[in-house]
Chain A
């Protein structure tokens, strides 16, 4: 990540949190960009592999979770997630789930139909 969001919602002391709304938003945007790209791409993969029903959804869940984990490890440098996201589970997993699922479904069906 760039220097802009490194000092985003830094913990100042044990309990006192100093938040910067702009950085939080920036982080969420970055995360969303990564998630958008990966879910569309994995939808393409699913279509090319001709995965069907449950296999495809499993593929999606696995890639979605692993992308979240990789995001934390690589972009948050394995530091404390709470430095970057206010409530990590909510922001990393739940918030964009249906959006990404819809995108995934779209490319999956599209490529699936094209390849057949």
Chain B
């Protein structure tokens, strides 16, 4: 059992650990971590903001931009005439920026927006003043809190109750540099870094929990929250945060559409189909 790495460091390699450690420390920590993860997930579902409220003009603007992009991407399925017609129409509409929710120069609101006019007067330059953006930021902050509070609590709990002894042996050797982190409460100078204390089990399981949660909560509605904070805020509301100037986007898109060549997706279709079914 004595590995060569341990010998090289010069530690007395084999310790006998109390088997009760497994049942009284290792299992409780793991169970608590899994349960906290589950609870956090459901809490996130509960505090998730309702469907983000967007004024109709904003949605129109978003959808016209999307429409232009889709035309660029999937234009090949159209007939040449159809593509040309759509291309001209979209280039014109986007070029005039007719459906921009908040006009840049004259602050005029498009006729759709008469009812929303009062709230939409200012330019959405400052994301803090936009109610939607602040909503998104609130939910982001809540998500962060829901992540950090239990982490801090568990870390405190582990450090307080399970410190000062070696819990387990890692199956892989580590360099001496990890010693300080892994054996924080253990006062031995030349114990091999493979012997780890409970806080290191906490860290290992913290990083490894994601796949487990994916298996446990294999539910499309819940999954997005488990994967973490990193991709959440950007996915939530496309373009609503007011970072990009929609009018600019539209004009650029219009230019792109104007010069977009038509590729025929139906060329040689007969041969392809024959090849598939022959």
- Which residues of A approach B to under 8 Å, CB–CB? 12-13, 15-16, 18-19, 29, 32-33, 35-37, 39-40, 46-47, 50-53, 56-57, 99-100, 102-110, 112-114, 116
B201 at the interface (CB under 8 A from A): yes
**Interface bits B35-60 vs A (CB < 8 Å: 1, else 0):** 00000000000000000000000000
A37-B215, A99-B211 in contact; A109/B204 too (CB < 8 A)? yes
For A103, give its contact among B74, B170, B211, B218 (CB under 8 Å).
Answer: B211
Give the B interface residue count (CB, 8 A): 38
Q: How far is the CB of B215 from chain A (nearest CB, A)?
A: 6
Given contacts A12-B265, A109-B168, 8 further A-B contacts (CB under 8 A): A16-B263, A18-B73, A33-B215, A46-B171, A56-B171, A102-B207, A109-B170, A110-B30
Determine which residue in A12, A18, A57 has the highest number of CB atoms from chain B within 10 A of its CB, and name it: A12
**Interface bits B174-192 vs A (CB < 8 Å: 1, else 0):** 0000000000000000000
A16-B76, A109-B170 in contact; A103/B212 too (CB < 8 A)? yes
A18-B265, A53-B5 in contact; A100/B211 too (CB < 8 A)? yes
**Interface bits B211-232 vs A (CB < 8 Å: 1, else 0):** 1101100100001000000000
A13-B268, A13-B272, A16-B76 in contact; A36/B204 too (CB < 8 A)? no
CB neighbours of A100 from chain B (8 A): 211
Q: How far is the CB of B274 from chain A (nearest CB, A)?
A: 15
Q: How far is the CB of A59 from chain B (nearest CB, A)?
A: 11
- Check B171 against A51 for contact (C-beta < 8 Å): yes
